[in-house]
Structure 1
Amino acid sequence: MDLKSGYPFWAIRNGLMHAFPRLQQDLRCEVAVIGGGISGALIADELAAHGFQVAVIEQRDAGWGSTAASTALLQYEIDTHLIDLCARYGETLAARAYLACAQAIGDLRTVARDLRDVDFRDQSSLYYASKPAHVAVLREEAALRARHGLRLRWLDAEALASDYGLRAPGAILSECAASVDPYRMSLRLLARLRKRGAQVFDRSRIERMQAGSRSVELISSDGVRVRAEHVVVAAGYAGQQWIDRRLARNRSSYAFVTDPLPAAELQALKDTMVWESARPYLYMRSTGDGRLVVGGCDDAIDIPARRDRRVESRAKKLVRKVGERLPRLELQPAFAWAGTFAETADGLPWFGPHPQHGPRVQFAMAYGGNGITYSMIGAGLLRARIQRRKHPLANLFSFERLK
């Protein structure tokens, strides 16, 4: 798949951090992970840390797919409001999903602390009402979240103007959020895995998969065979090719990053990510070196050639939209890019086996605005599946909810 356009900042900033060998001879392992982006890296790390013999196989250079284009906002907040998830799946399961996302940010913090130098930063999350008509819904949403123990407070228009210079009628300010350099985190995880004895291959495309009752055989485009007891398909948006049924809608999303800004200009944005209630939504967050990442202006359909043409014009549109909300900021894009973005109908991910391939093939489809957070949850969920243990989100985050 053609997953990105323009100049994704993380790839430019970091370059090609690590080179891994191609898959050139047959191998056996306990778990083969297809995909060497942030999802595959987190899942492989979780499995290897619990004693599994793991092999990671990536068709591009590792981390060079959608991970390189991610803007990496780490949130407990799901694109679907808690109110709406409650109406769809019941309050117990909906709240469990939100609380698991909050826990996942702490888990990601632990992973990042062990890796070091991946620009992991704790932040607050400011979710503002795009128009006055959205205020009542966001107030109800805030009350429901608070009832389930999520730490937040409501800010009115006056507080938003004085504290953030933001023109909006109201907002939820949550304490639980973070950001990271997703490409750097992925490559550091994969390099550590290899150092600890796992096998990592890139530039190796898996073309066929045959699942049996006791093992799964993978065949690469070069004819190399991999036999594994279990397979995890963590191929990002390309993972949909392995399932006949449509599971998500692909969109194009646009972003840019500025040069480093003075602290006096960033002000509260240094430690607060901002996003809005409109769909698709405008969002922004800072980096450790004082840049501002801004994203949004999604296309309803992902058409790579059109996406390529629109990068510059959408960056200009994003600048205008930020100016309407934060008139004190005069932003100039340093690098602009776009990428494929997939979302499910309910905003939830897909983790686990699909009937089409049987119980030994697990899928990791961390689709939605908080995909990295989902991937952290999915790492534990898939390990539980492989170990035949129960997991509190196994039904809600799996293909079983299609029923």
Structure 2
Amino acid sequence: MILHSGLPYSLVRYGLPFNYPKLEQHIRTDVVIIGAGISGALTAYALTNAGIACTVVDARTVGLGSTCASTSLLQYEIDVPLHQLMDKVGVDHAVKAYHACRESIDEIEVIAKKLKVKEFERKQSLYFASATKDLSLIEKEFAAREKYGFDVEYWNAAAVKRNMGFEAPAAIYSHSAAYTDAYTLTHALLQYIIKQGAAVYDRTNVVEVQMNPRSVTLTTHNGKRIQAKKLVIATGYESVQYIKEKIVDLHATYAVLSETHTQTEFWHRNCLIWETKQPYRYMRSTYDNRLLIGGRDVDFYHPRKRDKLLPRKSRELVNDFHELFPKMEFLPEFEWTGTFGTTKDGLPYIGVYPPMKHALFALGFGGNGITFSQVAAKIVTDHILGKKNELADVFSFDRLQR
């Protein structure tokens, strides 16, 4: 699947910072991970730090799937608001999911500092009502988040206008958010695990997966075999080839990045911005003083149809930006489109998939792909270590039958 097109800024700015070999021989390893994007990299990092020998393989060059097209917002908010998620999956699972995502931001910050990834910055997040009809949604969501221990403020229309400069009926201002660069973080993670003795192979396409009584055998496009005790599939939206049930709906999303500004403060503390409207639009500034806006999602049918919409969607996004900030300059310099997936409850699928013995999945679907990936890394590692993880049931495949 062609996962993106256009000019993702991370790929233009950083190019190919490291080279990785193709797999040219048969190998054995404790754990093999298919997918060298942010999900696979975070899982490999967790496994390596737990003392588990692992090998990462990817059909593409590292990071050139969805990862380089990521807009890299780090929010604990799931695409389904907390008070609605409680109705879908129960209070306990909903609250655990939200807290897990919040904690993952702290954990990614620790990782970024350890690996000296400069493209990480703590931020706040503003979730505003797109229309008056969404006022009750904001009120219910604020009450739920406050009740269950999230550091949030309720802003009425006057507070939104005073702090942000645009009109909105109400908003939730959250103190737990951040942004990073998924592409550079992925390379930093993989370089770290290589130094610890792990192996990473790209341009190595797995064409067959065979489950044995006590192991798994992978065969690559060039006939090389990988023998492992466990398999982790972290191929994102392409993982549906392994799963017989329909677990995800695919969509196309669009993003535009402005030229660099001389100013450094654009709105209140340069918080991340998103809205109640579906599909929602989102905005953030960057570490090099650019402005990013994304959204205008459509159902995904075919890459060519998705890509054909890019010029029009980019113009619409720039107009969307000027609706909120009519006096602020936004000169587009980079635009791109990518594919992402959503599930019926907004949660990813992580852990054991019963039809595939010895395999685990680390699938960070939705707008929280990076935070979900960090959650997945911990669940997968605990499972392989034989430890119980209280979040395993929250994100399990078992909920397909619930």
Give the TM-score, by structure 1 length.
Answer: 0.97
Q: Does 1:335 align with 2:334?
A: yes
What is the match of residue 386 of structure 1? 384
Q: Does 1:306 align with 2:305?
A: yes
Whether the 8 Å CA contact 2:353–2:397 is kept in 1: the answer is: yes
Paired with 1:153 and 1:302, the residues of 2 have a C-alpha distance of: 40
Q: Among residues 369, 373, 376, which one is paired with 1:375 in the alignment?
A: 373
Whether the 8 Å CA contact 1:252–1:303 is kept in 2: the answer is: no
1:245-324 map, 5 Å: 245-263=245-263, 266-268=266-268, 270=270, 272-324=271-323
Paired with 2:278 and 2:40, the residues of 1 have a C-alpha distance of: 28
What is the match of residue 399 of structure 2? 401
Deviation of 1:343 after TM superposition, in Å, equals: 0.7
Whether the 8 Å CA contact 1:193–1:199 is kept in 2: the answer is: yes
Q: Does 1:173 align with 2:173?
A: yes
Paired with 1:397 and 1:166, the residues of 2 have a C-alpha distance of: 37
The answer for unaligned runs of 5 or more in structure 1 is none
SS in structure 2 of the partner of residue 263 of structure 1: coil
Paired with 2:145 and 2:121, the residues of 1 have a C-alpha distance of: 23
What is the match of residue 13 of structure 1? 13
Whether the 8 Å CA contact 1:168–1:325 is kept in 2: the answer is: no
State which drifts further: 80-89 or 29-38.
80-89
Whether the 8 Å CA contact 1:35–1:58 is kept in 2: the answer is: yes
1:204-283 map, 5 Å: 204-263=204-263, 266-268=266-268, 270=270, 272-283=271-282
Whether the 8 Å CA contact 1:258–1:332 is kept in 2: the answer is: yes
Whether the 8 Å CA contact 2:256–2:318 is kept in 1: the answer is: no
Whether the 8 Å CA contact 1:265–1:329 is kept in 2: the answer is: no
Whether the 8 Å CA contact 1:45–1:193 is kept in 2: the answer is: yes
Deviation of 1:265 after TM superposition, in Å, equals: 5.9
* Letter matched to residue 12 of structure 1: V
Whether the 8 Å CA contact 1:269–1:285 is kept in 2: the answer is: no
Whether the 8 Å CA contact 1:164–1:269 is kept in 2: the answer is: no
* Letter matched to residue 292 of structure 1: L
* Letter matched to residue 362 of structure 2: A
Aligned-residue CA RMSD in angstroms? 1.1
Give the TM-score, by structure 2 length.
Answer: 0.98
1:78-97 map, 5 Å: 78-97=78-97
SS in structure 2 of the partner of residue 316 of structure 1: helix
1:138-177 map, 5 Å: 138-177=138-177
Cα shift readout 1:182-202 (whole Å, capped 9, x = no counterpart): 100001111111122100000
Paired with 1:241 and 1:316, the residues of 2 have a C-alpha distance of: 35
Deviation of 1:302 after TM superposition, in Å, equals: 4.0
Whether the 8 Å CA contact 2:119–2:181 is kept in 1: the answer is: yes
Whether the 8 Å CA contact 1:350–1:398 is kept in 2: the answer is: yes
Cα shift readout 1:204-256 (whole Å, capped 9, x = no counterpart): 00011011221100000111000000010001111111112221011100001
What is the match of residue 45 of structure 1? 45
Residues 117 and 355 of structure 1: is their aligned pair in 2 closer, same or farther, counting only changes over 3 Å?
closer
What is the match of residue 356 of structure 2? 357
Paired with 2:398 and 2:119, the residues of 1 have a C-alpha distance of: 36
Paired with 2:274 and 2:198, the residues of 1 have a C-alpha distance of: 39
Whether the 8 Å CA contact 1:5–1:307 is kept in 2: the answer is: no
What is the match of residue 70 of structure 2? 70
Paired with 2:283 and 2:137, the residues of 1 have a C-alpha distance of: 22
Whether the 8 Å CA contact 1:8–1:69 is kept in 2: the answer is: yes
Deviation of 1:264 after TM superposition, in Å, equals: 5.8
Deviation of 1:269 after TM superposition, in Å, equals: 5.5
SS in structure 2 of the partner of residue 104 of structure 1: helix
The answer for unaligned runs of 5 or more in structure 2 is none
Cα shift readout 1:341-385 (whole Å, capped 9, x = no counterpart): 111111000011212212x10011100101100000110001111
* Letter matched to residue 227 of structure 1: Q
What is the match of residue 191 of structure 2? 191
